[in-house]
Amino acid sequence: CRFLVGRIEKRSSETSAWQHVGRAFHFDDDWSTLRFVDQVPAVGCLVPPEFRSSQNVSSLTLNQPWPMPLRWQQQRYHKNNAFVAEKVDIPANAPAQRWEMPTTLTDQESFAFQLILSSTTGDIFLATPRYTVKPHFAELTCLDQATAIRCNGQPVKGSNIVLQPGTNHLEVEVPAGQKLRFEIGSHRFELDDTWEQKGDAHHKTLFLDQTVLWPNWKAQALHLCPDQGQQLLFWPNGLPEGDLANGYKLFLEVPDGCELRGASGYYKRQKVELKEIGLIDGYRHYELLFPGVKKYTEATLGQLHRWCAVLLMPTTRWNGNGELRFHAATPDLKAQEIPQCVPLVAMPPVNGRQPKKILFQLWTGWLRTMDDISLRDQIYASYIPAGITEAGAPAIAGLTAFNIINLENWNLDLKNWLARGEDYRQLQMNGKRHSYYPCSGRLLYTPEGRETLVQAAKVWQEKRQVDHCNLDFEGSVWGWCLGCFCPLCLKQFADAHQLKASPTPEQLKNNYEKEWTAWMNKKMADLAVLLQEGVKRARPDVVFSVYSAYQSEEFKRRYGIDWELLRGKIDLGMCGYGYDAKLLQATKQALAPTPMVSGIIIQPYQSKFATYPSFWSQAEILKHLLVGRVGLLLYEYHSMDGRSFYNLGEITRLAADYEELILKGERVEAEFPLLKGPKGDNYQALRHAGQTMLMLMNRSRQPTAYQLDATAPALAGKSLRDYYTGQTGVMAGNIASGGIRVLLLE
């Protein structure tokens, strides 16, 4: 039986197949033969090589040990019938881990490539199709005649020099006084005094794709709106070769009309000096000096404090063309990177407005720990034109400051309480005491514990001075910050459930999972209420909210949240990020009349992912705003560019102009039937105080047409005006992909 199963999830841009396919899963060339066996190796992730010059690496992650030896092979079939096979033998019972296999490519001819995982006796567990691959080599051209050129020790024939990613040693010999020019893409350089002379040869170290800019704007383009600052994040890791005694430099070039407004590290870990060099050939040149980077560190993308933020400001003088260029170099310029380029795309100006009551909350990661306070506040200020109303504390005038509260030891100060004795700390399921999580039973269900918690929350608020305090709670009932299995906690549970003896954790799992889940959900709600009491004791008008998963039986267990227990007890509930109408409604109903805000997310939000960032479409922003109607949570700043800022502005302006209608409007789309157009929640109409607004949202990748039923009685004698264009008579029309139409009944 030949077999394939695939999945298309448009919202997250996913098209995946159970078996690797050569073209697409509708073509049966690559369908696999289905063979039934007891067990197969747990392959987590298979990453093919990048197919660039020199060394490439493919990797395979095994999620579990496998009892038999495995053979992982890669095969290359070249045009001249040459066949290259490489393999990695994975021993039986090897621990779960990532395995790497190098591939060295020396020429740019295309070839067929296949990866296979099998037993050593030849049973195939996984095989990709034979992909046709054209390697991508970066070539440096020498424009003049040289006596000899060597790259990485190898003589170069002709004038094209293939560079490998990372370090390249270039060596040239020319008659004295002769000019020697090089070109790669639009970048040119020549033999000059930054080359080191040894005997007859001149040496230079060149780097290719060395500097990391995150997120990966380079993969496509960076979108900029005039006067809307754009953050760029670089990893100042130094250079693997060259003299770094005086630090190292990053050179940036932006088209005339764009400016760099500052650069900064975080947590006082990274000193950086920004200097403008001047305008050269239509590009403004800048230099960033990192005086403290004295040696190269392998890219450690998780170490957030090592980042350097740069604020790029496209002014209204920018003509909308050009690219962002950046390259690293040693201060003596003897070792230099080939400039990397990011295409820039000009967007219309951001035209948002802050509503008075509806909140647009932007999460900003570690922005508040930025060293350069003035740069930090310029970034905060850049949120206001988009209509964003609150951001991670400390914010600035015009923005509400919010911050998260939790039981981590850097957050709420429970040191003195925990120091009272071992019994005050959480006993985890594995029988070990947690180093700083408290015993939740003692903290929540003894008078001294409750007063300690309330007091700690009061001190927290006095220190942080926030307008909005958020408890971000996403923890399993079997662990995290509240899951304590000490004798006191187990006895409290037993007493509350009239059990004669305290159950063991195993008995809880096997016999009382439902009761334990409800018990832990209640603990979570009690924690929220006490934290709220504390922060409000310091300042009564602080907004106290909880962020967690949606209302569902599964999430009660997995995230420890039952929103019904928070109804009427907190100011606001927040959850994200998908749009599952049923789960959203269930959450809203569980909390009502307490208001609820849903959230939207941009991928990637973690720096370990180098994918090109997504953005928020107008349809996505408006649709999520209409769930709770009191606001929107935006996660998070680092991956935003002009696309997200512009689209947010369009929706915040609408929300500011029609705030009461959005907050209080009654759903009336049934009175305005569509003959064709968006379905379900993608079409909503609201009416309040004599105003009626029809909102059509297109979340698909294609433009879509809509047409209202002109015979509907509610439309008799009325006309429709487009909120954005002012156009009237818009009973039918088109909605762009990701776009919206907002029609006002007049």
Query: Where along the sequence are the contacts to Zn ion (CB under 5 A)?
Result: 439, 441, 484, 486, 489
Q: How far is the CB of 487 from Zn ion (least distance, A)?
A: 8
Please say which residue, 441 or 560, places its beta carbon nearer to Zn ion. Answer: 441
Q: How far, in Å, CA of 415 to CA of 686, rounded? A: 51
Instruction: Please answer whether residues 605 and 364 qualify as being in contact, where contact means their C-beta atoms are separated by less than 8 angstroms.
Output: no
- Reference 333, options 192, 428, 448, 237; nearest CA is 192
Maximum CA pair distance of the chain? 97
| Kind of pairing between the strands at 138-142 and 160-163 | antiparallel
Please say which residue, 443 or 597, places its beta carbon nearer to Zn ion. Answer: 443
Q: How far is the CB of 411 from Zn ion (least distance, A)?
A: 20
Q: How far is the CB of 484 from Zn ion (least distance, A)?
A: 3
Q: How far, in Å, CA of 215 to CA of 606, rounded? A: 9
Q: How far is the CB of 564 from Zn ion (least distance, A)?
A: 25
Instruction: Please answer whether residues 514 and 588 qualify as being in contact, where contact means their C-beta atoms are separated by less than 8 angstroms.
Output: no
Burial class (CB within 10 angstroms; exposed 0-12, middle 13-18, buried 19+) of 445: middle
Q: How far is the CB of 423 from Zn ion (least distance, A)?
A: 8
Please say which residue, 272 or 489, places its beta carbon nearer to Zn ion. Answer: 489
Please say which residue, 208 or 439, places its beta carbon nearer to Zn ion. Answer: 439
> And the tokens for 93?
């019972």
Q: How far is the CB of 431 from Zn ion (least distance, A)?
A: 13
Q: Buried b vs exposed e over 532-558: b needs ≥16 C-beta within 10 Å?
A: bebbbbbeeebbbbbbbbbbbeebbbb
3-state secondary structure of 382: coil
Please say which residue, 434 or 623, places its beta carbon nearer to Zn ion. Answer: 434
Helix, strand, coil content of the chain in percent (nearest 5): 20, 35, 40
What are the backbone dihedrals phi and psi of residue 652, each rounded to the nearest 5 degrees, phi first? -65, -35
Q: How far is the CB of 440 from Zn ion (least distance, A)?
A: 6
Half-sphere exposure of 741 (CA within 13 A, CB side): 28
Please say which residue, 475 or 642, places its beta carbon nearer to Zn ion. Answer: 475
Q: How far is the CB of 515 from Zn ion (least distance, A)?
A: 17
3-state secondary structure of 742: strand
Q: How far is the CB of 490 from Zn ion (least distance, A)?
A: 8
Please say which residue, 141 or 504, places its beta carbon nearer to Zn ion. Answer: 504
Please say which residue, 214 or 417, places its beta carbon nearer to Zn ion. Answer: 417
Q: How far, in Å, CA of 695 to CA of 686, rounded? A: 8
Please say which residue, 369 or 476, places its beta carbon nearer to Zn ion. Answer: 476
Burial class (CB within 10 angstroms; exposed 0-12, middle 13-18, buried 19+) of 346: middle
Please say which residue, 226 or 441, places its beta carbon nearer to Zn ion. Answer: 441
Q: How far, in Å, CA of 321 to CA of 1, rounded? A: 55
Number of helices and strands (H, E) in the chain?
Answer: 12, 50
450 to 127, 442, 529, 640: CA distances (angstroms): 59, 8, 10, 41
Instruction: Please answer whether residues 304 and 368 qualify as being in contact, where contact means their C-beta atoms are separated by less than 8 angstroms.
Output: no
Please say which residue, 41 or 441, places its beta carbon nearer to Zn ion. Answer: 441
Q: In this structure, which amino acid lies at residue 403?
A: N
Please say which residue, 441 or 628, places its beta carbon nearer to Zn ion. Answer: 441
Q: How far is the CB of 427 from Zn ion (least distance, A)?
A: 6
Q: How far is the CB of 545 from Zn ion (least distance, A)?
A: 27
Q: How far is the CB of 486 from Zn ion (least distance, A)?
A: 3
Please say which residue, 324 or 481, places its beta carbon nearer to Zn ion. Answer: 481
**Count of C-beta atoms within a 10 Å radius of residue 698:** 24
> And the tokens for 306?
């090592």
Please say which residue, 37 or 501, places its beta carbon nearer to Zn ion. Answer: 501
Residues 102-105: contacts with CB under 8 Å, at least 24 apart: 102/55, 102/56, 102/57, 103/49, 103/55, 103/56, 103/57, 103/58, 103/74, 103/76, 104/54, 104/55, 104/56, 105/51, 105/52, 105/53, 105/54, 105/56, 105/135
> And the tokens for 619?
């349809």
Q: How far, in Å, CA of 308 to CA of 372, rounded? A: 11
Q: What is the DSSP secondary structure assignment for residue 26, as one 8-state letter?
A: T
